[in-house]
Amino acid sequence: LRVVKSLDYQLDLIISSYCLDQIDFKNDDIVIDCGANVGELNLALKKRNLDLIYYAFEPDEETFQSLKLNNSENIDFLYKLGLSNKNAKINFYLDTDGGNSSIINFGSKDVVEIQAITLDSIQIEKKIKLFKVEAEGYEPEVLEGAKSTLRFIEYISVDFGPERGVNSENTVVKVNNILTEAGFELVEFSNYRVIGLYRNKSE
């Protein structure tokens, strides 16, 4: 799409796909990007003249190097780590070219060991505008590791499509249960992918 329809088209599609038009972003808002890939989320928001505090988590070494190049002004908040429900060394199954690498084994024979942490261990105890979760089927575990942080988050955009494991299961029910119990409500569903936007009802 970057080649055929232009980078601008791709960046606008990211905003629409994650339902981010529903969010009134302000400069200096905090955005946390789980499964950041090359940091296109931040590029898409910067295209709208937003100067945000951007935290990004991307454990794939090759992809992380591109993330750094694209977001050098946020270098202190870019983490070559996976988000999980525990702090541990774990296997990471690679599909770098397809952007589908995952902590859940989906049948890839290309596997590396990575460091995973919980989002709670970062201790971002201030208002967070958006937490984008794109974990290729590992979304429930990511959210389980963020339970203390959830109370600071206003919006969560989560891709819970059929990407979990060799059976390509979705994580809609598990994710919805976790977020509903944490006080979030589903406010928008993407027209492009299996992505839901949740809002913290206490905000």
Tens-digit pLDDT profile for residues 55-76:
999 999 999 999 999 999 889 9
Whether residue 154 has pLDDT greater than 90: yes
Question: What pLDDT is attached to residue 74?
Answer: 87
Question: What pLDDT is attached to residue 57?
Answer: 97
Name the pLDDT band for 95 (thresholds 50, 70, 90).
confident
| Prediction pTM value | 0.94
DSSP symbol at 162: S
- Sheet strands (E) in 145-189: 153-159, 184-189
Question: What pLDDT is attached to residue 1?
Answer: 53
Helix intervals (H) in the chain: 7-17, 40-46, 61-70, 139-144, 172-181
- Sheet strands (E) in 94-194: 111-117, 128-133, 153-159, 184-189
SS3 of 86, please? Answer: coil
Question: What pLDDT is attached to residue 169?
Answer: 93
Whether residue 99 has pLDDT greater than 80: no
**What angle (nearest 5°) sits at the alpha carbon of residue 128, between those of residues 11 and 119?**
95
Q: Exposed (0-12), middle (13-18) or buried (19+): which is 83, by Cβ within 10 Å?
A: buried
Name the pLDDT band for 150 (thresholds 50, 70, 90).
very high
Question: What pLDDT is attached to residue 44?
Answer: 95
Question: What pLDDT is attached to residue 203?
Answer: 73
Whether residue 47 has pLDDT greater than 70: yes
Please report the sign of the dihedral spanned by the C-alpha atoms of residue 33, residue 38, residue 39, residue 41: negative
Whether residue 8 has pLDDT greater than 90: no
Whether residue 134 has pLDDT greater than 90: yes
Q: 36 — phi, psi (to 5°)?
A: -70, -20
Question: What pLDDT is attached to residue 87?
Answer: 97
